[in-house]
């Protein structure tokens, strides 16, 4: 199982960092303590040797005393009891009292020895500290020479005694770390849970959203989460706009489909009760025209639905003049013959875009220009290039729409044009294709009372905005 949790990795990371920091601190303290212990024990060896020399020089040993003098060392066993320093001071001796052994030589004669010096290593007759390994045991010794009395005083301590003390110190360092790990981990968990609570609240707010409830999220979040909330609110706004657009599209499409369907139904009824050939022919003709209008509407609706879901287009460099002629050739002959076509084309112009979409764009513009022109009117098509942009202007004569600002809205048709076949989607498709190519489209009334449609599209790859 793969664990993919921020909380888990935060817990793991912080605990590992904490354990590493505490362990490093314990290691440093342990080594410093060992160093200090070595200095204390070394000083104790030297002090004991010098103290013994003072006793001997003070004549505290009687001449008739049997040599060597054995100094008794009280035996205090460490029974593993956890005693305080005050309790240990009440005993007759201390457990570490027997950790230092000594012996005194005068010439070759041993004159004094501690009771615990039975395994005393062979001393070195050289003043100072020495490390001597004897019988697989390492000893730290201190040799002190008193020249006036020809005395050699040797004090010694086993290294494993020091290591034992180091072990106690290490336990004292590790024990708090181990004891604090669990409560510290629990506290870290609570802190992480508290820190991540705003993220949990944000997740609950997002999970609570439905298509009917896409209102903005308003939470008091930390500065790091505010950009996420802003991005989510922006996404919700786009979703609301998209849903609203889809609802409007469905409503408008339903309305537009209802009219031809009603007409078809009416003429079908007329056909069923027709008594003569003239009525039958009239009803059949009406049904045929209604079917054409519905087929055109369905094609336009499919085009709009297709464009709404396009996010990326395949672009190539396209010569404009051949594309323009191809688009004109796709118009119905009735529209081609209805008006006079006046073409002023710059053959050097080219476009950078999707050929199929651009062909649909030009076809819809030409269709609208011819459809809404009077019979024997003129449609002028002009192309030229300026500042690495290609401009296409399509002008017709006739009556321009008074509400130019609404041109390009879905299903918008001027009341005077309701008798013409159409769905009010052509210029909406044109506007959408222009937007996909990073271009611009504008409408204006010309001197002949007709409409000028000016389309600006990029001619080069680097000018297209994605």
Domains and CATH numbers, the chain: 6-61+98-182 (no CATH), 226-305 (1.10.287.130), 310-463 (3.30.565.10)
* Rounded CA separation 369/423 (Å): 15
* Rounded CA separation 384/393 (Å): 9
**How remote is the C-alpha of 375 from its chain's centroid?**
63
416 HSE (CA, 13 A, CB side): 10
Strand partners, 153: 104, 144
- Give me the percent of the chain exceeding a pLDDT of 90: 3
Mean pLDDT of the region 86-106: 67
Summarised one tens digit per residue, pLDDT across range 182-224 is: 888 888 888 888 888 888 888 888 888 887 778 888 888 888 8
Q: Which of 85-89, 129-133, 359-363, 416-420 has the lowest mean pLDDT?
A: 416-420
pLDDT(418) > 70: no
Summarised one tens digit per residue, pLDDT across range 365-399 is: 888 888 878 888 888 999 988 878 889 998 887 66
Mean pLDDT of the region 221-244: 84
CA 43-47-53 angle, 5° bins:
150
Which pLDDT score, from 0 to 100, does residue 463 have? 47
Summarised one tens digit per residue, pLDDT across range 43-71 is: 888 888 888 888 777 665 555 556 666 66
Contact 439, 455 (CB under 8 A): yes
* Rounded CA separation 332/334 (Å): 5
pLDDT(359) > 80: yes
pTM of the model: 0.46
Summarised one tens digit per residue, pLDDT across range 309-318 is: 666 677 788 8
The residue that leads in pLDDT, 146 or 64, is 146
- Helix (H/G/I), strand (E/B), else coil: 210: strand
Mean pLDDT of the region 281-297: 74
Q: Phi first, then psi: what are they for 249, rounded to 5°?
A: -65, -45
Mean pLDDT of the region 110-122: 78
pLDDT(406) > 80: no
232: CB partners within 8 A, 6+ apart: 202, 206, 217
Contact 457, 318 (CB under 8 A): no
């Amino acid at each position: 199982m793969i664990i993919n949790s921020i909380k888990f990795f935060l817990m793991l990371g912080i605990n590992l960092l904490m354990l590493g920091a505490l362990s490093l601190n314990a290691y440093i303290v342990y080594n410093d303590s060992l160093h200090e212990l070595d200095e204390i024990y070394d000083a104790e060896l030297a002090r004991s040797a010098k103290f013994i020399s003072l006793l001997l020089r003070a004549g505290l040993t009687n001449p008739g005393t049997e040599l060597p003098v054995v100094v008794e060392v009280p035996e205090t066993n460490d029974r593993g009891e956890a005693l305080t320093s005050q309790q240990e001071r009440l005993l007759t001796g201390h457990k570490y009292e027997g950790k230092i052994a000594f012996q005194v030589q005068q010439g070759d004669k041993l004159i004094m020895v501690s009771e615990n010096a039975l395994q005393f290593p062979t001393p070195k007759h050289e003043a100072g500290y020495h490390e001597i390994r004897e019988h697989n045991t390492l000893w730290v010794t201190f040799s002190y020479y008193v020249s006036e009395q020809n005395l050699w005083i040797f004090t010694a301590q086993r290294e494993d005694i020091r290591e034992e003390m180091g072990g106690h110190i290490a336990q004292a360092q590790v024990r708090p770390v181990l004891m604090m790990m669990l409560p510290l981990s629990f506290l870290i968990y609570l802190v992480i849970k508290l820190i991540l609570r705003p993220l949990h609240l944000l997740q609950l707010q997002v999970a609570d959203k439905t298509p009917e409830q896409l209102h903005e999220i308003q939470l008091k979040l930390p500065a790091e989460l505010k950009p996420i909330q802003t991005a989510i609110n922006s996404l919700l706004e786009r979703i609301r706009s998209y849903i609203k657009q889809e609802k409007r599209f469905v409503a408008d499409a339903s309305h537009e489909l209802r009219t031809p369907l009603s007409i078809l139904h009416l003429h079908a009824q007329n056909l069923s009760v027709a008594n003569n050939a003239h009525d039958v022919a009239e009803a059949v003709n009406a049904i045929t025209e209604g079917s054409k209008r519905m087929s055109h509407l369905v094609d336009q609706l499919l085009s709009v639905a297709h464009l709404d879901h396009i996010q990326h287009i395949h672009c190539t460099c396209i010569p404009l003049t051949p594309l323009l002629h191809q688009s004109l050739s796709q118009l119905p002959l009735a529209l081609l013959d209805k008006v006079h076509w006046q073409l002023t084309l710059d053959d050097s112009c080219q476009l950078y875009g999707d050929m199929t979409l651009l062909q649909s764009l030009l076809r819809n513009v030409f269709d609208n220009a011819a459809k809404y022109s009077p019979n024997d009117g003129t449609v002028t098509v002009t192309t030229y290039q300026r500042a690495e942009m290609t401009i296409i202007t399509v002008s017709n004569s006739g009556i321009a729409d008074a509400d130019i600002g609404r041109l390009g809205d879905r299903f918008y048709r001027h009341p005077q044009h309701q008798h013409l076949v159409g769905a009010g989607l052509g210029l909406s498709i044109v506007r959408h294709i222009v937007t996909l190519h990073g271009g611009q489209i504008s409408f204006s009334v010309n001197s002949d009372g007709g409409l000028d449609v000016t389309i600006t599209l990029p001619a080069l790859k680097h000018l297209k905005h994605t």
